[in-house]
Amino acid sequence: MKNIPIGFGAGYWAGAAVFLSAFTAQAAVTLSADGVGNTYELIESKKFGIEVPDCKHNVRHVREAFDSDLDKYVFAFDIHRDLDDDRCTATDRQRVEIKTSPEGSPTQQHARGETAHYRWKFKLPSGFQPSPSFTHIHQVKAYGGDDDSPILTLTPRFGNPSKLQVIYTGSSNSGVKAEANLAPFINTWVEAYVRIYNDDNGSIQVNLRRLSDGASLLSWKSGTLDTWRTGASYNRGKWGIYRSLDNISYLRDETVLFADWCVTETAKRDCPSAIQKP
């Protein structure tokens, strides 16, 4: 082993701190709104893909809007019940999502054996209407191979009362793994954290907390689960509104707000929480 010099001066340690700070910055990919206009361009500059029905309903379905609760700009995802479809290819469902894409950085593409950490914020509007069919606001899906069904979804579901569900789909033990009443999620900012170890013997952790006071609204931590699809190149995250039209009478036009994505494969601390600890 090489000898390690001692007695470095302040200049050396200052340089080392700058280097470590730069390394940490590269360990996570972040995306936050920065003002009205050029929203798609901002999203794509961070190597996220966009899946929208603009080709038939010719408006931008993701925009930036000022939010008075956070006192800053956020992303507004707009979906229109009677005008939108799924990327002009399927008319029985609607999709307005962003995702980590094939053009993304390695940090956004989670290969077998890698651990992904996702943190972001979302707010469902007053009067939000889910249906008995699916309305996903977050998915983790495989890219390539057996990539039809999502591995993980966060899904508002109509009922008495309506629920927000954590759903896992794998080689076995698929189904709703945790759920909570939807009412506490309405018209309030929620900070979401998802950790997924991507492997045949993988695992998932989900924590949803109210941003204002850190109260836990829904949490789930799995045991060992299959989180890897046969033939996949990598797993990736998706966020937005993806909903079935099978029960269209339950639905309406919606605007769901999102803010401050952070994606990393290094450690949870590289996507720190915005919730102030007491």
* Percentage with pLDDT > 70 across the chain: 90
Which residue type, as a one-letter code, is found at position 22? A
Q: Find out whether 7 and 242 touch, Cβ atoms under 8 Å.
A: no
Residue 18 pLDDT greater than 50, yes or no: no
∠ CA 132-167-256, nearest 5°, is 65
Q: What is the pLDDT of residues 141-152, one digit of tens each?
A: 999 998 889 999
Question: In 10 A of CB 264, how many CB atoms?
Answer: 22
Backbone angles phi, psi at 218, to 5 degrees: -165, 135
Give the integer Cα–Cα distance in Å for 64 and 73: 6
Q: What is the pLDDT of residues 62-115, one digit of tens each?
A: 999 999 999 999 999 999 999 999 999 999 999 999 998 778 889 999 999 999
Single pTM value for the model: 0.89
Which pair of structure tokens corresponds to residue 154? 């966060």
Q: Is 240 exposed, middle or buried (0-12, 13-18, 19+ CB in 10 A)?
A: buried
Nearest to 154 by CA among 166, 163, 169: 166
Q: Please determine, looking at this structure, whether the domain spanning 39-263 carries the CATH number 1.10.150.120.
A: no
Cα Rg of the chain, angstroms: 20
Residue 15 confidence (pLDDT): 43
Q: Is 85 exposed, middle or buried (0-12, 13-18, 19+ CB in 10 A)?
A: middle
Nearest to 78 by CA among 39, 22, 21, 26: 39
Domain boundaries defined on the chain:
39-263
